[in-house]
């Protein structure tokens, strides 16, 4: 069974390479990571193109997908680079969700939260759970330091890469 850190590494590998997907199958698990395809954008624009007209539609869809794709491409690297720079400059590490799922601060509804603002943590300290497809994935702090902010609400749906905690490095 893969640990959350190993899955994070696979996600980073997928993001940093030209690979479109990664599939891993063992006796007790299956993992399939796939990059979003750019195909849905052009498919949506040709549907709009016939309504706009034949001569004007041909030039219009070409510019439309390019600006739509360009901001998406710019947006992905831009947040990670400033976020990493901000982490290095201020000494604050941001724990991000490694997947889409439901954020839980505690191991059970009647249990106290894993961490609170002011809690001291190490790299291996579990700070929360993200439930995805009925699997409870423990998220670790990744750094040694002090929790300075909790950025998600208990029971909230979180997206891949969404900031969950701020931890000031020790």
For residues 117 and 150, the answer to whether their CB atoms sit within 8 Å is yes
Here the contacts of 121-127 (C-beta below 8 Å, separation 24 or greater) are: 121/145, 121/146, 121/147, 121/167, 127/95, 127/164, 127/165
- The pLDDT tens digits of the residues spanning 114-123 come to 999 999 999 9
CATH 2.40.50.100 domain residues, the chain: 91-169
pLDDT at 138 over 50: yes
For residue 156, what is the DSSP state? -
Average confidence (pLDDT) over 78-88: 45
How far is residue 91's CA from residue 152's CA, in Å, rounded to a whole number? 21
How many C-alpha atoms does 16 have within 13 Å on its Cβ side? 7
pTM: 0.50
- Centroid of chain to Cα 33: 12
Region class of 78: left (phi > 0), else alpha (psi between -120 and 50), else beta: alpha
pLDDT digits (tens, 9 = 90+) for 28-51: 777 777 777 644 444 444 444 444
Considering the domain delimited by 91-169, tell me its CATH architecture: Beta Barrel (2.40)
Query: Which of the four pLDDT bands, split at 50, 70 and 90, describes residue 95?
Result: very high
């Amino acid at each position: 069974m893969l640990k959350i850190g190993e899955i994070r590494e696979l996600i980073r590998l997928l993001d940093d390479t030209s690979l479109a997907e990664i599939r891993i199958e063992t006796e007790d698990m299956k993992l399939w990571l796939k990059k979003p395809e750019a195909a849905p954008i052009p498919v949506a624009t040709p549907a709009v193109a016939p309504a706009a007209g034949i001569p004007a539609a041909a030039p219009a869809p070409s510019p439309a997908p390019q600006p739509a794709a360009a901001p998406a491409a710019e947006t992905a690297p831009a947040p990670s680079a400033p976020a990493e720079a901000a982490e290095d400059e201020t000494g604050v590490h941001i724990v991000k969700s490694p997947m889409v799922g439901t954020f839980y601060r505690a191991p059970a509804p009647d249990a106290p939260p894993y961490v609170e603002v002011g809690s001291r943590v190490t790299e291996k300290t579990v700070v929360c759970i993200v439930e995805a497809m009925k699997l409870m994935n423990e998220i670790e702090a990744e750094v040694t330091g002090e929790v300075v902010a909790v950025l998600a609400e208990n029971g909230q749906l979180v997206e891949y890469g969404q900031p969950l905690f701020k931890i000031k490095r020790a």
